[in-house]
Amino acid sequence: MIQRFALSLAVGLSLSLVAQANPIQDGYRAAAKQENPAFKDFSAAAGQKLYGTKTGELSCSSCHTESPKAVGKHAKTGKEIQPLAPAANAKRFTDAANVEKWFKRNCNDVLGRACSAQEKGDFMAYVLSVQ
């Protein structure tokens, strides 16, 4: 009985880890390894820090709110922005071209430059961890 429970628990944990895998983030992982051979993995803490980084007038939270689970509003146009966290918006981080388009635009707007693969992966690690 205990062995069956342990096996069920192990299978359940394995399935939940597989469910959290994201092919887009996997692509950034491969790119990060090319950018930096010492790369180990992404950091949700570094992603959270990036999310709150303010340069000039903007940060990610300027439009996406303090919580990636909340509906945001574009800082200039006032247009509604659906939640950033997949826990609140299952469509997020499912289309690689769309993800890359928004990283390109928003990294430039907020940071004044392109984000590295490490930064993109860290950002995704944070947003994917928000439950």
23-73 pLDDT per residue, tens: 999 999 999 999 999 999 999 999 999 999 888 888 888 889 899 999 989
Query: What residue segments make up the domains of the chain, in order of their start?
Result: 22-129
Q: Which residue has the tokens 């945001």?
A: 72
Terminal alpha carbon distance of the chain: 32
Residue 89's Cβ-count burial label (10 Å; 0-12, 13-18, 19+) is: middle
Q: Name the residue with higher pLDDT: 80 or 2.
A: 80
- Has domain 22-129 been given CATH number 1.10.760.10? yes
pTM of the model: 0.81
Nearest-angstrom CA–CA distance, 112 and 131: 30
Residues with Cβ within 8 Å of 69's Cβ and at least 6 positions away in sequence, in order, are 83, 84, 85, 87, 88, 130
Percent of the chain with pLDDT over 90: 66
